[in-house]
Amino acid sequence: MSVYRIRKFADVPLSDSLSPAPNTLIGVSVVLLLAAATFGHFNGTKVETLRSTIVDANAARELTERSRVRHEKAVRARESAESHLAQVLIEKTQLEAKLHDKESEPLALQKRMEENQPASLNPGAPSAVELQAQLDDARQQLEIAEREKSLLSEKVQAITSPSAQLEEEKKAPGSGSSKSRRPRQNPGRQSGL
C-alpha cells in the first residue's frame, strides 16, 4: 500500500500541489493590505507628532529669544537710568557746595560789617537783599535736583524690580536659591537745612 500511495502521490503533477487557490490569494492580499493600512496609520501619527514637536520647539525658541531681547532692553534701560542718576547726584553735590558757599558768604560779610562798621561799605559787594535772593535761588535749585533724584530713583526701582524677578525665575528652577539683587542706593550729601 505504501508503494501505491507514493506512486499515486508521485503521479500528481507538481504544479497542482504548489499552485495556491484563488481564495488563498485573496485572503493573503487582504491581510497584507490591512498590515499596510495599519503601518500607514502609525506612520501618519508619527509624522503628526513630529510636526507638533517641531512647532513647539520653534515656539519655545521664539519665546526664549523674545525674553532675552526684553531682558537686554531692561538691562540697557537700567544702566541708562543709573548713569543719569549718578549724573544727577553729581549735580546735586555741586549745587549743595554752591549753596554752602552762598550761605557762608552772607555770614562772612556780616562779620566784616560788624568789624568795620564805622568804615564805608564796599561799593562792589552785593547787598543783603541780593545775597538773600541768591540764597533763595540756590535753595530752589537744590529742591529741584532732589525731586529729580527721587523721580529717577523711583524709575530705577521700577526697572530693577521686574528684572530682579526675571533673574529669580531663572535661578529658581536650576539652583533653588532665591536671593534678589537690591539696587545700590547712594544717598549723597544731606543738606543741613
Domain ranges of the chain: 22-115+126-173
What does the alpha-carbon distance between residue 14 and residue 111 come to, in Å, rounded to a whole number?
Answer: 142
Q: What pTM was computed for the model?
A: 0.35
Q: Which of 89, 101, 94 is nearest to 135 (CA)?
A: 101
User: pLDDT per position in the chain (193 positions), as tens?
Assistant: 444 445 555 544 445 556 778 898 999 999 999 999 999 999 999 999 999 999 999 999 999 999 999 999 999 999 999 999 999 999 999 988 888 888 888 778 778 777 776 444 566 777 778 888 889 999 999 999 999 998 888 888 888 777 777 777 777 665 544 445 555 555 554 444 4
What does the alpha-carbon distance between residue 106 and residue 89 come to, in Å, rounded to a whole number?
Answer: 26
Asked if 112 and 128 touch (Cβ cutoff 8 Å), the reply is: no
Q: What pLDDT does 39 receive?
A: 96
Q: Which amino acid belongs to residue 50?
A: L
For 148, phi and psi rounded to 5 degrees? -65, -40
Cβ contacts of 154-158, under 8 Å, gap ≥ 24: 155/81, 156/78, 156/81, 156/82, 156/85, 156/183, 157/183
Distance of CA 177 to the CA centre of its chain: 18
Asked if 152 and 85 touch (Cβ cutoff 8 Å), the reply is: yes
Asked if 77 and 173 touch (Cβ cutoff 8 Å), the reply is: no
